Amino acid sequence: MNITEQLNRQIANFQVLNFKLHHYHWRVSGPHFFTLHAKFEEWYDRAAAYTDDLAERVLALQGEPPVTLQQCLGLASLKEAAGGETAEQMVRTLAEDVSILISELKETAAEADEAGDRPTADMLTDFQTELEKDAWMLRAFLA
Ligand SMILES: [Fe+2]
């Protein structure tokens, strides 16, 4: 996969994650409702912002970002929410998703850096920094 294709996979991932986080925001229940309901909202807003940054980078590189849900589902490494998850299962699933995102972002950032594409590498590294903080918080919740 070239850089643009890898960025398109990340767009697809963050679209799936955005949908999943809405799903969880609406369906979470139990004693952690207020915390998780608010946290999922914060995260889907960020997933949407990442999607836009990635798509505009793809356009700047003269590529074509995916623009339909169907395209995104075909490209994404992340899976949609299964439905019926407990709050803990939601957090567990998100921890797995975040670890997939971090490793793919790292891989693409390294390739972009090697290709002399610093703006892409820097953007992905910024996302990685934030996602690694999320990964710590998710681990702390599950500990
Ligand atoms: Fe809401």
- What is the full per-residue pLDDT of the chain (143 aa) written as tens digits? 899 999 999 999 999 999 999 999 999 999 999 999 999 999 999 999 999 999 999 999 999 999 999 999 999 999 999 999 999 999 999 999 999 999 999 999 999 999 999 999 999 999 999 999 999 999 999 99
Query: Tokens 């949908």 — which residue?
Result: 19
Are 9 and 76 in contact by the 8 Å Cβ rule? The answer is yes
What is the whole-number distance in angstroms between the Cα of residue 4 and the centre of ligand 1? Answer: 33
How many other C-beta atoms can be found within 10 angstroms of the C-beta atom of residue 68?
9
What is the whole-number distance in angstroms between the Cα of residue 26 and the centre of ligand 1? Answer: 7
What is the whole-number distance in angstroms between the Cα of residue 47 and the centre of ligand 1? Answer: 15
Rounded Cα–Cα distance for residues 97 and 81 (Å): 11
What is the whole-number distance in angstroms between the Cα of residue 123 and the centre of ligand 1? Answer: 28
Domain at 100, CATH number: 1.20.1260.10
Domain count, the chain: 1
What is the whole-number distance in angstroms between the Cα of residue 69 and the centre of ligand 1? Answer: 21
How would DSSP label each residue in 90-108?
Answer: HHHHHHHHHHHHHHHHHHH
Residue 139 structure tokens: 């681990």
Q: pLDDT value at position 43?
A: 98
What is the whole-number distance in angstroms between the Cα of residue 137 and the centre of ligand 1? Answer: 21
Q: Which residues of 100-117 are buried (b: 16+ CB within 10 A; e: fewer)?
A: ebbebbeebbebbeeeeb
Smallest CA-to-CA distance from 60 within 15, 104, 103, 123 is with: 123
Q: How far is CA 109 from CA 24, 33, 34, 68, 141, in A?
A: 29, 36, 35, 25, 29
Range of the domain at 93: 3-142
What is the whole-number distance in angstroms between the Cα of residue 77 and the centre of ligand 1? Answer: 26
What is the whole-number distance in angstroms between the Cα of residue 138 and the centre of ligand 1? Answer: 21
